[in-house]
Amino acid sequence: MAAPEIEQLIQLLSKLPGLGPRSARRAALHLVKKKEVLLAPLAQALARVESNVKTCSVCGNIDAADPCEICTDTRRDDSIICVVQDVSDLWALERSGNFKGRYHVLGGTLSALDGIGPEDLKIDTLVQRASDEAVKEVILATSATVDGQTTAHYIADCLENCNVQISGLAHGVPVGGELDYLDDGTLSAAMSARHPMS
Amino acid sequence: MAAPEIEQLIQLLSKLPGLGPRSARRAALHLVKKKEVLLAPLAQALARVESNVKTCSVCGNIDAADPCEICTDTRRDDSIICVVQDVSDLWALERSGNFKGRYHVLGGTLSALDGIGPEDLKIDTLVQRASDEAVKEVILATSATVDGQTTAHYIADCLENCNVQISGLAHGVPVGGELDYLDDGTLSAAMSARHPMS
């Protein structure tokens, strides 16, 4: 139908999360129409990411440097490691700007259904890092899903012999959230973790 | 936050239709994770489209050749020109597979609000093409919106002096559509264009 070059571009774009075949077609057309301002820069940006970006061998973050900027930042606190499932979670926590320790990216969660076992996640390197005397606390910031919490419990067991405090994120009402729209689990968690207002 | 290479990729991806800042971030992460199977081929596909794909000087379609494949296909009927707003509409009609004439891409619709006048669309080249003796019919396949229909009427006026039959797409119930969900305009159009079933 369209030129094979365009068909191939559509096919590749449709593999991106959030784009189906129809929206990939729209995106391809948009790119062809904006050759100078969008298509050419995007091709260059992809080539640059391809050659420069790598996975940090310490924490699993992706960055232009290895070890990554977060691992080499001397202003950060070496004594706390925050364990996250994925790089996107690391980015989300960095955006919130509250945490100034180090990270450890697991690369997923344990999942019996998908056949993901402990050996598929970077748990052994985490135990290794947590065994360092400098580390005082490990925050298990996996998702509040069944798989995420199973993974957190499994990791807590693995870290038993390390001399670290293990903590998890607080559950409760999201900031800006209306009670009416919240699920029962969140509400009951928020109720039992209620605190005195003074 | 992330490496500047990734930030730039996210920023460019977020300019694609259908992707916002959040989904662009997900897409960028997905690309970095699938470097070999997705990122590299996508960079190559974009570069290939950038250097090969051009706009057909006859009909306004985009293709690797100029004039495009549709304009040079000798099996197609020279006597009918189908006028569409955009290349995506041409693709949609080609997918339906029913039309075997030539196309003419206007590049938009007349729009007082957006300040798009007749000189911004390829109307003069259409009149030129329609003046050819071989052309017997011009199908105005612009959208069934106010702007689309205004444009169709304007073009019909422009083609008055050309010796061609001017036609429009039929309005009615979409195939597979349920009456209950259709708007009043479509239903009344379908009712007044009813036909005897024999």
For residue range B87-144, list pLDDT tens digits in order.
Answer: 999 999 998 888 999 999 999 999 989 999 999 999 999 999 999 889 999 999 999 8
Find chain A residues with C-beta within 8 A of B41's C-beta. Answer: 12
A 13-42: CB under 8 A from B: 13, 15-19, 23, 25-32, 35, 38-42
B14-to-B8, B167, B186 alpha-carbon distances in Å = 10, 40, 35
According to the model, what pLDDT value does residue A11 have? 94
Domains of chain B: 4-52 (1.10.8.420), 75-168 (3.40.1360.10)
How many contacts (CB atoms, under 8 Å) link A and B? 149
For A43, which of B23, B43, B86 is closest by C-beta distance? B43
Its pTM stands at 0.79
pLDDT 10s digits, B153-186: 999 999 999 899 999 998 888 888 888 888 888 8
Query: In whole angstroms, what is the distance from residue A141 CA to residue B70 CA?
Result: 56
8 Å CB contact of B50 and A40: yes
Task: Inform me whether the C-beta atom of residue B6 falls under 8 Å from chain A C-beta atoms.
Answer: yes
pLDDT at res. A1: 63
Alpha helices in chain B (DSSP H): 4-13, 21-33, 40-52, 69-72, 87-96, 123-130, 146-158, 184-192
Contact across the interface for B95 and A1, Cβ inside 8 Å:
yes
Location of structure tokens 């296909």 = B73
Query: What's the mean pLDDT in B81-92?
Result: 92
The per-residue pLDDT for range B34-62, each reduced to its tens digit, is 989 999 999 999 999 999 999 999 999 99
Please tell me the distance from the alpha carbon of residue A159 to that of residue A139, in angstroms, as a whole number: 11
pLDDT at B195: 84
Nearest to B9 among A27, A35, A46 (CB): A46
What's the rounded Cα separation, in Å, for the pair A13 and B19?
Answer: 11
pLDDT at A78: 92
| Partners of residue B1 in chain A, C-beta under 8 Å | 91, 94-95
Q: Which of A3, A13, A27 sits opposite B64 (nearest CB)?
A: A3
Question: Which has the closest alpha carbon to B39: A82, A51, A101, A80?
Answer: A51
Q: How far is B37 from chain A, CA to nearest CA, in Å?
A: 10
Q: Rounded mean pLDDT of A112-123?
A: 92
